[in-house]
Amino acid sequence: MFRSVRHMIYDLIEWRSQILSGTLPQDELKELKKKVTAKIDYGNRILDLDLVVRDEDGNILDPEQTSTISLFRAHEIASKQVEERLQEEKSQKQNIDINRQAKFAATPSFALFVNLKNVVCKIGEDAEVLMSLYDPLESKFI
């Protein structure tokens, strides 16, 4: 999850610099603003934060000036969009995992025996020996 949030933040920083540059035409600026708000809403959902209700242009709806029914409908629409995005991400991740497992299952595997008898280091130096086994069927280290 950390990597996906970090990737989202990098995207938002890049898009912010594009917006602040002032070189984008109005239609591209509007599309970029929609992408930014969609990414922010998606990130809030991943982090279990509150959903911000927005209008079609990506502006936050003011509950003082918007009717309760309009807020509710806008909230439903925003929730559906974020859930659809989450489902897309999950299906893409599952496809990647399936492809990875098929790739490892198709490749021949070998056994490796390691016998470590001695590790030498100078006095005062820290030393660390780390060994791990990888299970290609589960796609994780044991």
Residue range 53-60: average pLDDT?
Answer: 81
SS3 of 96-116: the string is HHHHHHHHHHHCCCCCCCCCC
All structural domains of the chain, each given as residue ranges with its CATH number in brackets, are 2-106 (1.20.1270)
Task: State the average pLDDT over residues 74-92.
Answer: 84
- pTM, two decimal places: 0.55
Residue 27 has pLDDT above 70, yes or no: yes
pLDDT tens digits along 112-137:
777 777 777 777 777 777 777 777 77
pLDDT of 142 higher than 80: no
Distance in angstroms (rounded) separating the CA atoms of residues 138 and 128: 27
Q: Which residues contact 46 (CB under 8 A, 6 or more apart)?
A: 1, 4, 5, 86
